[in-house]
Structure 1
Amino acid sequence: MRRWDPFSELREMQYEMDRLLDRFSRDVPAATEPFGGWIPAVETYKKGNDVVFKCELPGVDPKEVDVTVDETGRQLIIKGERKTEKDAKDEDYIHRELTYGSFERRFTLPEGVKTDHIKAKFSNGMLEITVPVPEIGTKAKKIEVETPMMIEGEKGVKKAA
């Protein structure tokens, strides 16, 4: 005898919905992608005094990647394009999941970043941007919270001297 799982039907329904949405997004890419482009995955993490942006760009020619900082010095902009292969444009696809086109990602930088010290390198389809972050003069500090204290023999609450 098999035990009834009340959530098995929900999991099956979720699987079917995921399959349907996945199929829809492949069949109608312009409806699911901003401006018909694609959005590469990016990880951001701290490494010592640096902030590192790792951007996944498989199939992108490094010459098609542009990394800039805007005029305020506070926005890191990554732009690029993944182009279709010339011989594949006229193919009669049976199944197509790869996305092509231009992309743009923007990230807010911490205050005081010296933009001339930012470095970018591209290797094996990964773009790594290292942003040195200046150490801020103030450190975290615990602030003591005062509380009123009862003094024996007094009717009211008074602050202890």
Structure 2
Amino acid sequence: MLVTRFDPFAEIRELEKRLLGAVSVPTVSAEGDKEVVNAFVPSVNTREDENAYVVEVDLPGVKKEDIKVNIDPEKRTLTISGERKFKEEVKKEDYYKIESSYGKFMRTFSLPENVDVENIDAKTEEGVLHITLPKVKKEEKEVKEIPVK
């Protein structure tokens, strides 16, 4: 009978490998070997004021040309997508490690009914994408009295 040593963390390490493999992109290491880096998932902040909803997406290192903002008026969704591209840097003299994530990303948000989809504005500033979703102005209607005849 063969005796094997029990490793309580073996299953967890295997699960971690499979999960990271599902959301990873290949990159090139300093030695030229293929490595795997986790996919880029940008952080998003949302807020609301009396006139609009504001979505701010942290996109450091992403060029304006690599960002797409789409509105689907039928499904009432806002989709932000793009790609942060890997920079081919190699250092051979010293130890070199890359911790930044690269790759394609996509985030989709449901829009409230009171968003004016015709006047949405998007701009980038210092690595942050600012999307302003103006609210439809409610017409305040006065109570009209109907004379009884």
TM-score, normalisation: structure 2: 0.63
Percent of pairs with identical residues: 34
Partner of 1:79: 81
Greater relative CO, 1 or 2 (CA 8 Å, sep 6+): 2
Partner of 2:115: 113
- For structure 2, which runs of at least 5 residues remain unmatched after alignment? 1-12, 26-38, 141-149
**What do residues 49-76 of structure 1 show as CA deviations (whole Å, max 9, x unaligned)?**
2000000000001100000012515110
TM-score, normalisation: structure 1: 0.59
Pairs within 5 Å for 1:34-45: 34=23, 36=25, 37-45=39-47
Partner of 2:7: none
Q: Distance between the aligned counterparts of 1:96 and 1:35, measured in 2?
A: 14
Give the superposition deviation at 1:48: 2.5
Q: 4+ runs of 1 displaced by more than 4 Å?
A: 90-93, 135-138
Would you say how many aligned residue pairs link Structure 1 and Structure 2?
112
RMSD: 3.1
Partner of 1:132: 134
- For structure 1, which runs of at least 5 residues remain unmatched after alignment? 1-23, 139-161
Q: Distance between the aligned counterparts of 1:29 and 1:60, measured in 2?
A: 28
Give the superposition deviation at 1:35: 5.5
Bigger fraction of residues in helix: 1
- Tell whether the 8 Å contact from 2:73 to 2:117 is kept in structure 1 after alignment: no
Whichever of the two has the greater Rg, that structure is 1
Bigger fraction of residues in strand: 2
Q: Secondary structure at the residue paired with 1:96?
A: coil
- Tell whether the 8 Å contact from 1:117 to 1:132 is kept in structure 2 after alignment: yes
- Tell whether the 8 Å contact from 1:118 to 1:131 is kept in structure 2 after alignment: yes
